Amino acid sequence: MQTIVLATQKGGSGKSTLAISLALAAIRAGHTVRLIETDTQGTLSNWRRRRQYAEPVVEPIYAAREVEQRLQSLERDGVTVTIVDTAGGVSAATNSAIRYADFCLIPARPSIADIEATAATLSVIRAWHKPFAYVLNQTPIRGAARLASAENALSDEAALDIVDIVARPVIMMRNDHQDALSAGLAVCEYAPCGKSAEEIRGLWQWIEARLGNVVAATDEPIIDEFGETPAIIPKWAALPSFGNDGALFLRMPART
């Protein structure tokens, strides 16, 4: 089993939405997937309650001491990918999740506040010697200069080549992500032919390549107008929109 942890100091970076989207992309790639929520805000659990379909299962785990034993149990049960959504900040549960991660993703919007906030998370990841990458998330569609500056700043902070340290593709800011969340869906289910779904599929393929997985994506639709499929069994469901913007930035804080 491979464990992917989404973590960053700053709230509002889109960790939960990314966790959901990647979970569905992994299921479509042939994996047995479990979502673990260590954030007491409960975004994943709330999404799960709005969802008509039985998969993926969301497990709230808030005690740091329970993280390792649950990961071991999931591996024995045949789960192949576990995605952990953590709370903003650095907590005992987040530290424990990073400790047992196979790969860490640090979502960040292309703004100075978000990029500065990655420093504390990065220090924990480095302390446990874990492989990681940044995911530039909620990126304004018209913002090429901002995006280039963000990539350079993140690459400098990590002291690694940008090809290795910033996941591809970047995830653009589109309403599809928030509308899907409201409907109890992932973006690849809500708008399977849209650009957002295409970006998430590309991001999952990038992650699999980094993990060394050789599971070919089937790209078969898991949901067909809320119809039942062998892999996903209905349960019960809900909808609005979204918009935001980043800010120009120039630097990263010195590493600690």
Q: Is the preceding peptide bond at 253 cis, omega within 30 degrees of 0? A: no
Residue 42: partners with Cβ closer than 8 Å, 6 or more residues away: 60
Domain span holding position 64: 2-211
Span 133-159, pLDDT tens digits: 999 898 887 655 555 555 555 655 555
pLDDT in tens, 50-67: 999 999 999 999 999 999
| 236 domain residue, yes or no | no
pLDDT over 50 (residue 199): yes
Which CATH number goes with the domain that contains 197? 3.40.50.300
Q: How much is the average pLDDT of 125-130?
A: 93
Is residue 198 in some structural domain?
A: yes
* Domain membership flag for residue 237: no
Write out pLDDT tens, residues 84-98. 999 988 789 999 999
Mean pLDDT, to the nearest integer, of 221-238? Answer: 32
pLDDT value of residue 155? 56
Please determine, for residue 125, whether its predicted confidence score (pLDDT) is greater than 70: yes
What would the pLDDT profile of 151-187 be if each residue is shown by its tens digit?
Answer: 555 655 555 544 578 899 989 999 999 999 999 999 9
Q: Residue 247 domain-assigned?
A: no
pLDDT for the residue 138:
86
Question: Residue 235: inside a domain, yes or no?
Answer: no
Per the CB < 8 A criterion, the answer to whether 36 and 85 are in contact is: yes
How many of the other CB atoms lie within 10 Å of CB of 136?
A: 25
pLDDT category at 13 given cuts 50, 70, 90 is confident
Domain count, the chain: 1
Token pair of 59 as six digits: 């497990």
Does residue 253 sit within a domain? no
Residue 185: what pLDDT?
A: 97
Q: Is the residue at 95 inside a domain?
A: yes
Q: What is the pLDDT of residue 149?
A: 59
pLDDT at residue 218 above 60? no
pLDDT at 249 over 70: no
Residue 241 falls within a domain, yes or no?
no
Query: Which pair of tokens denotes residue 80?
Result: 């192949």
Report CA-CA distances (Å) from 168 to 150, 201, 237. Answer: 14, 10, 32
- Spatial neighbors of 234 by CB under 8 A, at least 6 apart, are 52, 53, 54, 226, 228
